[in-house]
Structure 1
Amino acid sequence: MGVTKRNRDFRDFWLGHTVSAVGTHVTAVALPLLATLVLDAGPTGVAAVATAGYLPNVLLPLLAGHWLERRRRRPVMIGADLLRAAALFAVPTAYMIGVLTVPLLVVIAFVVGALAVVFDIGGFAYVPTLVDESDLPAANRAVQGSTTAAQVAGPGLAGLLTQAAGPALAVVVDAVSYLGSALGVAAARRPEPSPAPATDSGKTGLRLVVTDPYLRALTAHAAIYNGASQILTVNLVVYLINERGLSAGLFGLALSASGAGAFAGTMLALRMAGLLGYGPAFLASLALSTGIPLAIAVLPGSGLALALSLAVVQFVSGIGLGSANVLSVTLRQVIVPQGSLARTNGGYRTLIYGVLPLGSAAGGVLGHGLGSRAGVAIGAAGLAVSTLPILSRRIRRLRSLETVRAGRAVRP
């Protein structure tokens, strides 16, 4: 992580981003836990709170991307963190005065989710202005490493905070984390340049994603992967805990191995790209992240042996996921001109997150009709299928980012 040592501004931003990423995933679990443990909400109420938190990922990326294209991203990100903290502090306040309700949690979850969309899209466009282009892969390695680890560690941390301090106090800790994030982002003092003139001004974020061959392949892969991952996740809990008798504690520990693997993968990504070439390294990463989970439906044993087997699968696939995330994000940032970064990321997120509710619904239907083991197998197969768009000759034979930069330089 040389860039975090050389570039103090990036280091401060990265620390703030890391805290924000953890807070996002803690919130996604802490608010539904609060609904069920404190408000005694049934499945419908809990689902409403959880859905409200993810819904902005479907509705807002395009709007946020176009809005951010004309603005400096750093102050917007700081404001998003402060507003998220304020929204979450409203939860324990409402609890103490006796006015906390499920509808209020739904509103707060939606607001926090919407601000997370703004923060994340802003961060994607901000990083290339904070570091030199030669440092961009290393910067993304740091950012994606903490983001991927937060995706895995956040839910477990939310559970531990809820068990140790109660769900209301867990939300307080989460709110404080966003204040820490705002401080970290604010500490980055490198002047942010004025927004670059928008390129391809007649194109929307979606059209830019669909018309560029690199972006089209990356988006198709991510969308298929996310949908299949939801099918797998919906059925995995039922299959391993209800049908295989795995304890909740061992299940959670086994899943957490993915975070350790993802961190290792982010550290290996650039070395793999240097040894194998950019495209082959990407495909090798996807072989791990999308191929290894095929073993989950046929894991043998029970109890600790089953948990250890699952942990190995999660760790190895996590290595691939961490590496693939670094390579994918960097490739997208190099492909897209500065004046279109926010818009294209908005279009990209609309498509890759828009499939999540479809994947969840499909997972439920498949699990109910064919059984949870079949649902796990189908979800894992879908992950493997997601690699197909990346097998395009353009990406498969990509040796280095210099090839992409040269092509970008001669675009009309």
Structure 2
Amino acid sequence: MTSTSPATNSDLTPQPDAQRRILTVLVTSQVLSGAGLAAGVTVGALLAQDMLGSTDLAGLPSALFTAGSALAAVAVGRISHARGRRPGLAAGYLTGAIGSAGVIAAAVADNPILLFLALFVYGAGTATNLQARYAGADLAAPAHRGRAVSTVLVATTLGGVLGPNLAAPTGTFAAGLGIPALAGPFLLAGVAYAAAALVLAVWLRPDPLLLARSLDLQQRAAPNSTDDTAAVTPRPGLMLGALTMILTQLVMVAIMTMTPVHMHDHGHGTAAAGFVIAIHIGAMYLPSPLTGWLVDRYGRTTIAAASGITLLAAGVTAAAAPADSVALLALALALLGLGWNFGLISGTAMITDAVPLATRAKTQGLIDVSIAIAGASGGLASGIVVSATSYALLALIGGSLSLALLPVIATTARNR
């Protein structure tokens, strides 16, 4: 199975110096923002459970900050479309920092309504972290887009793995300030997101999207340019790329959200849950360079299919893992992160191949809205499913859903 990424006159002239600088700045911001996004994953559900005294709505925080990321994806996409990646990404991270401060205020006031509102705003950081991968691909040649996306994603690993493991220390630090311990990771998130916004606002120059558009216009103005329709006409792969990312996000968020709650309910502490989530986030981002190479070498659809199979393995492992086995739960969450990584990088490459520069940022933002809505649905449904049945059944349902990718990929391949 292979994916087509045709070269046309609209494909960019390589700009290695500019691309290296842009990737360096993006990597720096992603290291910082990785620590920010880990806070909600690690303790968001536990904070809600503690305030509400019930597991029924423990999936609501994940649903809220994922829904918030949907709105932010539209805003970041539109700002980027109008003014470039730099103001769009910086505004998104700054909003995430404001949301983190709101979560801390809600925890101090013991106000669940304020908590839910703040988590919605906090979701902007998650959306921005994902939107940054598109900035890494703006100037990349088609044959190297998978690797460009992976370079940006892998930078999230350091902050994303470090953040959950700081859940206990930041909780202790927060308690010393009179803030509930579970809100501690959001102190780190606020500082990390604000720092990421500053890095991008000051140093993301030249703006990758604006430079890509300028180069594209120069190529079209050249006397030998004959490819006029590519500027506005999407290429094949748009729908398959979107579906791959939507389905992998839904499955990943659903199982990930309830894993800390499942562990907490069976006697595991915050440190153990933080360790498992750190393994998960590491698997989400650390394999990115290899995944990017595989996507460029073997094709987008091949790795998308591997995503579905890996997510199934994750669901089966999570369902079969004894509640007292941190090692098996960590393995399940590692497979879950790896399957998501396969889906995100292959899907992003398909979208970047398919969408012309004239509408790229806006279309990418709209697609990320669908991804965020899928994640919100998965997060919200996960708490309801676990409350009504069990964590094991949730994991099996999620793993089975991921197989829906395979017939779609097979049909798409036959129609090419």
Mapping 1:145-224, distance limit 5 Å: 145-147=154-156, 154-166=163-175, 167=181, 170-185=185-200, 186-192=202-208, 193=210, 196=213, 214-224=237-247
The answer to whether the aligner puts 1:258 opposite 2:283 as a matched pair is: no
CA distance in 1, matches of 2:374, 2:413: 26
Mapping 1:288-299, distance limit 5 Å: 288-299=310-321
Alignment partner, residue 24 of structure 1: 37
Q: Is the 8 A contact 1:72 1:194 kept in 2?
A: no
Judged with a 3 Å threshold, the aligned counterparts in structure 2 of structure 1 residues 279 and 377 are, in CA distance, closer, same or farther, namely closer
Judged with a 3 Å threshold, the aligned counterparts in structure 2 of structure 1 residues 272 and 366 are, in CA distance, closer, same or farther, namely same
CA distance in 1, matches of 2:100, 2:193: 9
Alignment partner, residue 401 of structure 2: 382
How big is the shift at 1:79? Answer: 3.5
CA distance in 2, matches of 1:365, 1:312: 24
Q: Deviations over 1:328-357 (max 9, x none)?
A: 222211221112222222221222222334
Judged with a 3 Å threshold, the aligned counterparts in structure 2 of structure 1 residues 288 and 176 are, in CA distance, closer, same or farther, namely same
SS in 1 for 2:275: helix
How big is the shift at 1:81? Answer: 3.2
Q: Is the 8 A contact 1:149 1:262 kept in 2?
A: no
Unaligned residue ranges in structure 2 (runs of 5+): 1-15, 176-180, 217-231
The answer to whether the aligner puts 1:14 opposite 2:27 as a matched pair is: yes
How big is the shift at 1:102? Answer: 4.4
Alignment partner, residue 272 of structure 1: 294
Alignment partner, residue 118 of structure 2: 108
Alignment partner, residue 90 of structure 2: 78
SS in 1 for 2:205: coil
Alignment partner, residue 367 of structure 1: 386
SS in 2 for 1:355: helix
Alignment partner, residue 338 of structure 1: 357
CA distance in 2, matches of 1:95, 1:75: 29
CA distance in 1, matches of 2:257, 2:130: 27
Q: Deviations over 1:257-309 (max 9, x none)?
A: 3334344521322443465444334433443244343233234x674xx3323
CA distance in 2, matches of 1:273, 1:253: 29
Cα RMSD between the aligned structures? 4.4
How big is the shift at 1:172? Answer: 3.5
Give the letter aligned to residue 312 of structure 1.
Answer: L
Partner residue of 2:150 out of 130, 141, 148: 141
Alignment partner, residue 315 of structure 1: 334
Q: Is the 8 A contact 1:64 1:121 kept in 2?
A: no
Q: Is the 8 A contact 2:315 2:398 kept in 1?
A: no
CA distance in 2, matches of 1:248, 1:27: 13
SS in 2 for 1:70: helix
Q: Is the 8 A contact 2:304 2:346 kept in 1?
A: yes
CA distance in 2, matches of 1:348, 1:191: 22
Give the letter aligned to residue 257 of structure 1.
Answer: I
Q: Is the 8 A contact 1:265 1:318 kept in 2?
A: no
How big is the shift at 1:74? Answer: 0.5
Q: Is the 8 A contact 2:80 2:86 kept in 1?
A: no
Give the letter aligned to residue 189 of structure 2.
Answer: D
Alignment partner, residue 326 of structure 1: 345
Q: Is the 8 A contact 2:311 2:339 kept in 1?
A: yes
Q: TM-score, normalised by structure 2?
A: 0.71
Alignment partner, residue 69 of structure 2: 57
Judged with a 3 Å threshold, the aligned counterparts in structure 2 of structure 1 residues 268 and 159 are, in CA distance, closer, same or farther, namely same
Judged with a 3 Å threshold, the aligned counterparts in structure 2 of structure 1 residues 248 and 392 are, in CA distance, closer, same or farther, namely farther
Alignment partner, residue 405 of structure 1: none
Give the letter aligned to residue 34 of structure 2.
Answer: A
Q: Is the 8 A contact 1:289 1:321 kept in 2?
A: yes
Q: Is the 8 A contact 1:283 1:396 kept in 2?
A: no
CA distance in 2, matches of 1:320, 1:373: 19
* Paired residue total: 377
Q: Deviations over 1:218-274 (max 9, x none)?
A: 32233333333444346655666657x766654543443333434452132244346
Q: Is the 8 A contact 2:100 2:118 kept in 1?
A: yes
CA distance in 2, matches of 1:294, 1:45: 25
Q: Is the 8 A contact 1:257 1:315 kept in 2?
A: yes
Judged with a 3 Å threshold, the aligned counterparts in structure 2 of structure 1 residues 15 and 131 are, in CA distance, closer, same or farther, namely farther
